[in-house]
């Protein structure tokens, strides 16, 4: 999808050093994988949105829009974990509480 010459030129302009074509191809492969993940997740976000629209009796969306893509990027960057705490509907994180006991070494009264 991405043309290697454009990526090479951008990398060269930003760094000012010579860039191997294999390095450019590695960057392109990485970003194409990321792009594919965003596209797939955007479709899932559209489905979630349409479910909510269906519950509310609203007309369903037919296109992936800007908001779907934004939510997809957020979801991917958070590894599927919601921003909300456990009390507000997010995932509950188990926190280990450490209780400190008083030291008995310096308990003498002078």
Mean pLDDT value of segment 35-56:
96
Question: Would you say the pTM of this structure is higher than 0.75?
Answer: no
pLDDT of residue 83: 65
Domain with residues 4-88, CATH architecture: Orthogonal Bundle (1.10)
* Tens of pLDDT, residues 65-87: 999 999 999 999 987 666 666 66
pLDDT of residue 2: 87
71-88 burial, b at 16+ Cβ within 10 Å, e below that, comes to bbbebeeeeeeeeeeeee
Domain limits, the chain: 4-88
């Amino acid at each position: 999808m991405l043309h290697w010459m454009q990526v090479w030129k951008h990398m060269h302009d930003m760094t000012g050093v010579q860039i191997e074509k294999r390095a450019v191809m590695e960057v392109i492969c990485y970003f194409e994988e990321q792009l594919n993940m965003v596209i797939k997740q955007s479709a899932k976000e559209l489905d979630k949105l349409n479910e909510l629209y269906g519950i509310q009796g609203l007309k369903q969306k037919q296109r992936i829009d800007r908001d779907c893509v934004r939510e997809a990027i957020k979801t991917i960057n958070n590894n599927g974990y919601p921003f909300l705490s456990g009390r507000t509907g997010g995932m509950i994180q188990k926190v280990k509480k450490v209780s400190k006991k008083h030291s008995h070494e310096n308990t003498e009264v002078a």
